[in-house]
Amino acid sequence: MPKSKNIILKGVAASAGVAIGKAFLLDEDDFCLIYKKIPKNARESEKKRLDDAIEKTRQELKEIYNKINDVLGENYAHITDAHILILDDPTMREDVYKLIEDGTNAEYAIFKVIDKIIRSFESIKDDYFKERKVDVQEVGKKILANLLGKQERNLINLKENSIVVAHTLSPADTVTIREKLIKGFVIDIGGKTSHTAIMAQGLGIPAVVGLKIASSQIRTEDTIILDGNVGEIILNPSEEILEKYQKDYDRQYEQIKELKKLKDLSIETIDKHSALIFANIDNSDEVSTALNNGARGIGLYRTEFMYFNRNAMPSEQEHFEEYAKVVKEMLQYPTTIRTVDLGGDKFTKLGLLKLGQEQNPFLGLRAIRLCLKYPDIFISQLKGILRASAFGKVRLMYPMISGIDELRDANKILQSVKQELRKKNVSFDENMEIGAMIEIPAAAVIMDIIGKEVDFISIGTNDLIQYTLAVDRVNENVANIYDPKHPAVLRLIKQIIDSAHKEKIEVGICGEMAGDPHYTAILLGFGLDEFSVSASQILKIKKVIRSVSFKEVKEISDKILQCGDKESILKIMNTIQV
Ligand code: PEP
Ligand code: MG
């Protein structure tokens, strides 16, 4: 059947840029399970293959048990018991053996048996037992991964420029996909500030999200034009359209070349008002790109990466090594390390915390709340950060602070960790600055109080907008009302900045709004000191700052604060000449 040409699908522009490539469809778990008939003389060795995979899974579960035991103690470690019990269930193994004896390959046999067990769990009325199917699923996946010799989603078969198409891609998957031939992401769910979108920006890969059912419409090998600037994809474009986008693609390349010329120039307006531009990073690999784009510091180091795609909590030593690497590479520039912000749309597969099962994860056990509830996780990270602070300028930042008590509780733990290190003669920076992210309206309202007990703040507009407007940042159905231009959001930002300045502390923004050149002039006019943005946006923001007058943007920002509707705000924004 001939392919229909020029099908346009609209979604949410999540990461800027144009990409052209062949669709590479990623299954939910990307296990390619094919039934294979096993000849009679090979069935015993097929059973042995299954036994080996089960044994390997047992070893992995033991390692998980030991690591959890080390970090959090025995009570937590026992959560792996359920997995071992499932693994050792004699009926399960007999059922799989029977299928293999009848000629089914081990992968397909285990898949069939696990599927049957899961379906029987679904018919159970009791919610607790019903949920145990997740454990069975987990064990099944582990055995399958070992049978298939897979650790991660398998992209090694890529041969040409490709665009990954998936129903959903977790932030963890996004950061681990670092294949050069991947030119873009097309995802059914999510909004502009979902963490998957943010990771794509960090990697400098164009992305369109919130496409609803795109992954079921697209076929492998379809040609896709992805326009991450407007949030649109075109399936199987005609020659004419392809040519037009190829030109855009080339223009994009030329623009980047032009922007590079700004790299070493000062960050100041034409009337000499200066600002800082820092980078947001997700791991140490991104530091060199940030520096190459002229970053003068790291304004947000999202440390969740340390917790993704692994079977045990990172150790203090791992924390230390990862952070020290960044700090040493940044030399005299500051590195703002944010303590872990798990929860929301970032849950680990560590299984400890039942994350991902909450009714309202963004209002749930997230970020600093989780760290205060499980201090062992927090302490091991704090030790790593403190030890890294001996090698350069580290700033420590707590996410999701909602009130002064939370800040004090976190600081109390920090003080005790410092005391422990002093006793052991471990060096760290005694003057390390402590900051809070202001991303919950409650914290914004009491900025004067928080401002007296921190050294700096960074406004997390991604969450601040979500919580101020009551709009889920990852829900594509409400993506159109998630808008930084809402007058309440703009006024709140201005109030935070003024209130913090009264306490003589520096204010940054590390949410996506800081990296959007449309808002640069307004934020500068509000008095923002530091823009922390993904590496790909640094020079674009610098270009705007260098082309405006501070006096003028201040006047414009004042006018904007008087507006009650977005339309008038937009009108004034459009008068700014960049
Ligand atoms: C924010 O909320 O603006 C922010 C920078 O943090 P994150 O996107 O990681 O929640
Ligand atoms: Mg946030």
Of ligand 1's listed atoms, the one at least distance from the Cα of 280 is: 5
Question: How far, in Å, from the CA of 13 to the mean position of ligand 1?
Answer: 17
Best residue among 280, 283, 341 to mutate for probing ligand 1's pocket (most ligand atoms within 8 Å of CB) is 341
> Comparing 578 with 381, which gets the higher pLDDT?
381
Average pLDDT value for the chain: 88
- Relative to the alpha carbon of 510, which ligand is closest? 1
- Relative to the alpha carbon of 512, which ligand is closest? 1
Of ligand 1's listed atoms, the one at least distance from the Cα of 193 is: 8
343: Cβ below 6 Å to ligand 1?
no
> Comparing 321 with 196, which gets the higher pLDDT?
321
Query: Residue 153 has what pLDDT?
Result: 47
Is the confidence at residue 355, as pLDDT, over 70? no
Question: How far, in Å, from the CA of 293 to the mean position of ligand 2?
Answer: 24
460: Cβ below 6 Å to ligand 1?
yes
439: Cβ below 6 Å to ligand 1?
yes
Of ligand 1's listed atoms, the one at least distance from the Cα of 399 is: 6
Q: Using CA positions, which residue lies closest to atom 1 of ligand 1?
A: 460
Rounded CA-CA distance 99/47 in Å is 10
Q: Domains in the chain, start-ordered, CATH in brackets?
A: 7-27+158-255 (3.50.30.10), 40-148 (1.10.274.10), 261-573 (3.20.20.60)
What's the whole-number mean pLDDT along residues 264-274?
A: 97
Rounded CA-CA distance 521/499 in Å is 20
Which phi and psi angles does 110 have, rounded to 5°? -65, -40
Query: Mind listing the pLDDT tens digit for each residue in 218-240?
Result: 887 799 999 999 999 999 999 99
Q: Contact at 8 Å (CB) between 200 and 8?
A: no
What residues pack around ion ligand 2 (CB closer than 5 A)? Answer: 439, 460, 463
511: Cβ below 6 Å to ligand 1?
yes
462: Cβ below 6 Å to ligand 1?
yes
Query: Mind listing the pLDDT tens digit for each residue in 392-448?
Result: 999 999 999 999 999 999 999 999 999 999 999 999 999 999 999 999 999 999 999
Does the predicted TM-score (pTM) go above 0.85? Answer: no
What's the whole-number mean pLDDT along residues 115-131?
A: 71
Rounded CA-CA distance 12/233 in Å is 10
Query: Mind listing the pLDDT tens digit for each residue in 125-153?
Result: 665 665 567 678 778 888 887 887 654 44
Best residue among 346, 469, 510 to mutate for probing ligand 1's pocket (most ligand atoms within 8 Å of CB) is 510
Query: Pairing state of beta strands 162-166 and 182-187?
Result: parallel
Is the confidence at residue 156, as pLDDT, over 50? no
